[in-house]
Amino acid sequence: MANDKVYLLIGGAQGSGIETTSYVLTAALARRGYGVLSNREYFSNIVGRHSYIQMAVSSEEIPRSHTFPVDFVGAIDAETVFTHYDDVREGGYLLYDKDTQNTRLIQIKSMESELAERLKERFQELGIELKLASLIDYLANNVGVKVIGLSYRAVLDKLRQKYGLGLAQLQRYRSSIPIGVVAGLMDLDIDSVVYGLSKRFAGRQKIVETNRFLVTEIMEEVKELYGSPLKLEKSKLDHDELLLVSGNDIVGMGKAVGGLRFQSYYPITPAADESLFLERYESLRADGESKGSMLIFQTEDEIAAITSAIGAALAGVRSSTTTSGPGFSLMAEGIGWAGMNEVPVVITIYQRGGPSTGLPTRGSQADMLFSIFAGHGEFAKIVISSGDHMEAFYDSIWAFNLAERYQTPVIHLLDKFLANSITTLPVPDFSSIRIERGKIILEADKGPFKRFDTSETISPRPVIGSGAITWYTGDEHDEYGHISEDPVNRDIMYEKRTVKKLELIDKEVPPEERVQLYGSTDADFLLVGWGMVKGPALDALRELEGEGIKGAYLSLRMLNPLPSEYVLGILEKFGQDKIIVAEHNIMAQAAQLIRMNTGFQIKKQVLKYNGRPIFKMELADAIKLLLEKKEGRVVLKYAK
């Protein structure tokens, strides 16, 4: 019987090629029309530490979340087996390298001592000897995991004989072994795999050919021994083409469509890949014809990143900068200047675990309140957040529109979970995309111009170079932009830039675009969240509905200004007992934001702050637990 959903996990040392494994498999599956969501977990390390890819594959939809246990764990090294031994379900499949079976736990120096210690304790409880072979025996005999042991050396030896590859080259093919096994278990045809390989290794036919041989051999062997128990039904998704994109890619694409002409950045994980992606496309070439030029500018630090982006915006181009927590901290003063001078600039933040450098390569949602309040003094600022890849695409355009319409910095708050997740996405619909440049003036009469005309909340904005002569200053200023400490002028300007602007945004941007309610207000409970919590939230809700518990999900998209009355209206329909917030921080920042804006207190919280994504099963469990209580907090722990 074929499946409609399969969960895979493939692990190996950082730098051993599992990113390629994931890309090739995702492309192969996309080729046959399946939906894939593939997340990458890795250390802040270039080579040697444990990393893994988690893939959800579906014949019915584009997967939104991950869950445990999985159907298949593919281990490139012994560390992966030790680390993920309990991630595979009963009756699921474990691939491992038979040549590593004598490896003892203490020999794995790359493993963090805390994990090694926990495993030791656990294995002793279970009566497992601290050696891979004993663990494998235990999994096969006590858990009912089907173990696929291959001698990777033998596999590579065949390649050496056939293609005469050197030792270092051969090692790179270790990460192709799981491709063969997955292809066998899922009954993927070799043509789709070759399609994936060719996309990854475009123009490098030799590598494609070698891989084809390796994958075919393994695939046939696996099929013979195990059949294809993870075979998916024919895809029901109705797309004749799919984009294969990471979160970084799709945001870059959105910016390009939105008219980006200047992006500054200082390298930081997990943001830099967006700029690198854009740089590859900086001349926006469609069949050789350049549709515009985007300048992707690597600066000396994040202060130069934000201030050069502001400079470019003053000169009239759509301008943004991309960063993560540490870099954003350095930008605070610049953002204040942009607020003071009503500059439309977009700051894209991919949150990672803080404070300080924290967990540099792990996800988080701890910078919401910091983003809203970043910068000294008071000024209007828009903060938006996206729930998935498609939202991130449209929101990247929306951010520019909001920035130019309201002449204010806009923060697009994303996270590592999005940045490093690859998904299959239909090509976005363009019919509703608008480019709204607000009161920009690209050509003006020559001469001095009141850039900060107070007769309207949003003043006309002749750009530098338009002909108009304008002045800007971070000091309080008059309508021309000259320094003024006059108290009467101060009040007028201060109000214009803060509450008046925020009120205008609140009035003009419909609340339905700023928060999204999934499900109806007569559901049994309401889950509230923001950003990438959306995927696991909607999937947990679906699972609970199967158990007869009907929930709704409120996704907060514009965090500042929050559509307070609208949100309060929804919350009050449910009442305190039925509302749970879920987010990736310890302070329940969304709950605090709601309380600050509406006075409504959410007393049930599901929080996760260990840097790993919220998984569907743990969220569903936490919701069930909290529905029984009047109040409480559940901290989610599932993590590897």
CA distance 212 to 517: 47
Nearest residue (CB) to another protein, 304 versus 390: 304
| Sites for another protein among residues 71-130 (CB under 8 A) | none
Q: Which of 240, 508, 522, 547 binds another protein (CB under 8 A)?
A: 240
CA distance 317 to 304: 17
Q: Which stretch binds another protein (CB under 8 A): 173-181, 258-266, 521-529, 563-571?
A: 258-266
Q: Which of 435, 586, 596, 639 binds another protein (CB under 8 A)?
A: 435
Q: Among candidates 634, 384, 400, 409, which has minimal Cα distance to 531?
A: 384
> In sequence order, which residues have a C-beta less than 8 Å from that of residue 552 and are 6 or more positions away?
517, 518, 519, 520, 521, 523, 525, 526, 527, 541, 574
Tokens of 396: 């990247």
Tokens of 452: 């900060």
Q: Residue 35 Cβ, how far from another protein at the closest point, in Å?
A: 11
CA distance 579 to 556: 14
Q: Which of 129, 137, 282, 524 binds another protein (CB under 8 A)?
A: 282
Q: Interior CA angle at 119 toward 114 and 122, to 5°?
A: 130
Q: Are strands 146-150 and 50-58 parallel, antiparallel or unpaired?
A: unpaired
CA distance 517 to 555: 6
**Total chain residues near another protein (CB under 8 A):** 93
| Sites for another protein among residues 520-539 (CB under 8 A) | none
Task: Assess 344 for contact with another protein (CB under 8 A).
Answer: no
| Sites for another protein among residues 504-523 (CB under 8 A) | none
Q: What separation, in Å, do the N-terminal and C-terminal C-alpha atoms of the chain show?
A: 31
Task: Assess 346 for contact with another protein (CB under 8 A).
Answer: no
CA distance 85 to 83: 6
Q: Which stretch binds another protein (CB under 8 A): 2-10, 380-388, 424-432, 499-507?
A: 424-432
Q: Which of 258, 327, 363, 613 binds another protein (CB under 8 A)?
A: 258
Q: Residue 266 Cβ, how far from another protein at the closest point, in Å?
A: 11
CA distance 567 to 600: 10
Q: Which of 241, 485, 508, 628 binds another protein (CB under 8 A)?
A: 241
Q: Which of 150, 251, 253, 538 binds another protein (CB under 8 A)?
A: 253
Strand, coil or helix: what is 598? helix
Q: Residue 33 Cβ, how far from another protein at the closest point, in Å?
A: 5
| Sites for another protein among residues 381-400 (CB under 8 A) | 397
Q: Interior CA angle at 191 toward 188 and 192, to 5°?
A: 55
Q: Residue 537 Cβ, how far from another protein at the closest point, in Å?
A: 27
Strand, coil or helix: what is 301? coil
DSSP 8-state assignment for residue 300: S
DSSP 8-state assignment for residue 86: T
Q: Residue 189 Cβ, how far from another protein at the closest point, in Å?
A: 6
Q: Residue 194 Cβ, how far from another protein at the closest point, in Å?
A: 12
Tokens 């928060």, located at residue: 515
Q: Which of 56, 62, 108, 243 binds another protein (CB under 8 A)?
A: 243
Q: Residue 421 Cβ, how far from another protein at the closest point, in Å?
A: 14
Q: Residue 481 Cβ, how far from another protein at the closest point, in Å?
A: 8
> In sequence order, which residues have a C-beta less than 8 Å from that of residue 177 and are 6 or more positions away?
74, 76, 95, 150, 152, 155, 214, 218
Tokens of 13: 């040392």
Q: Residue 370 Cβ, how far from another protein at the closest point, in Å?
A: 20
Q: Which stretch binds another protein (CB under 8 A): 90-98, 110-118, 173-181, 465-473?
A: 465-473
Q: Which stretch binds another protein (CB under 8 A): 97-105, 244-252, 583-591, 617-625?
A: 244-252
Task: Assess 259 for contact with another protein (CB under 8 A).
Answer: yes
| Sites for another protein among residues 561-620 (CB under 8 A) | none
Nearest residue (CB) to another protein, 242 versus 366: 242
Per-residue contact string for residues 9-38; x = within reach of another protein by CB under 8 A: ------------------x--xxxx-----
Q: Residue 119 Cβ, how far from another protein at the closest point, in Å?
A: 39
Q: Which stretch binds another protein (CB under 8 A): 165-173, 433-441, 593-601, 627-635?
A: 433-441
Tokens of 630: 């009047």
Q: Which stretch binds another protein (CB under 8 A): 11-19, 42-50, 238-246, 381-389?
A: 238-246
| Sites for another protein among residues 284-343 (CB under 8 A) | 284-287, 290-293, 295, 297, 299-301, 303-305, 307-319, 333-334, 337
Can you spell out the DSSP letters for 166-230? -HHHHHGGGGGHHHHHHHHHHT--HHHHHHHHHHHTTT-HHHHHHHHHHHHHHHHHHHHHH--TT
Contacts 24+ apart (CB under 8 A), 353-358: 353/609, 353/611, 354/325, 354/326, 355/325, 356/326, 357/44, 357/326, 358/325
Q: Among candidates 466, 342, 450, 336, which has minimal Cα distance to 406?
A: 342
Nearest residue (CB) to another protein, 312 versus 606: 312
Q: Residue 92 Cβ, how far from another protein at the closest point, in Å?
A: 25
CA distance 400 to 306: 15
Tokens of 526: 């309401």
Q: Residue 302 Cβ, how far from another protein at the closest point, in Å?
A: 10
Q: Which stretch binds another protein (CB under 8 A): 17-25, 139-147, 278-286, 508-516?
A: 278-286
Task: Assess 446 for contact with another protein (CB under 8 A).
Answer: yes
Q: Which of 213, 281, 566, 638 binds another protein (CB under 8 A)?
A: 281
CA distance 57 to 59: 7
| Sites for another protein among residues 199-228 (CB under 8 A) | 199, 202
Nearest residue (CB) to another protein, 179 versus 256: 256
Q: Residue 362 Cβ, how far from another protein at the closest point, in Å?
A: 26
Task: Assess 2 for contact with another protein (CB under 8 A).
Answer: no
| Sites for another protein among residues 143-202 (CB under 8 A) | 189, 195, 199, 202
Q: Which of 428, 529, 536, 561 binds another protein (CB under 8 A)?
A: 428
CA distance 499 to 488: 17
CA distance 442 to 464: 9
**Buried/exposed code over 123-152 (b: 16+ C-beta within 10 A; e: otherwise):** beeeebebbbebbbebbeeebebbbbbbeb
| Sites for another protein among residues 466-495 (CB under 8 A) | 466-475, 481-483
CA distance 383 to 412: 6
Q: Which of 448, 586, 631, 635 binds another protein (CB under 8 A)?
A: 448
Yes or no: say if 296 and 279 are a contact pair by the CB < 8 Å rule.
yes
Task: Assess 424 for contact with another protein (CB under 8 A).
Answer: yes
Q: Residue 282 Cβ, how far from another protein at the closest point, in Å?
A: 6
**CA distances (Å), 157 to each of 166, 179, 209, 269, 390, in order?**
11, 18, 16, 37, 44
Nearest residue (CB) to another protein, 117 versus 436: 436
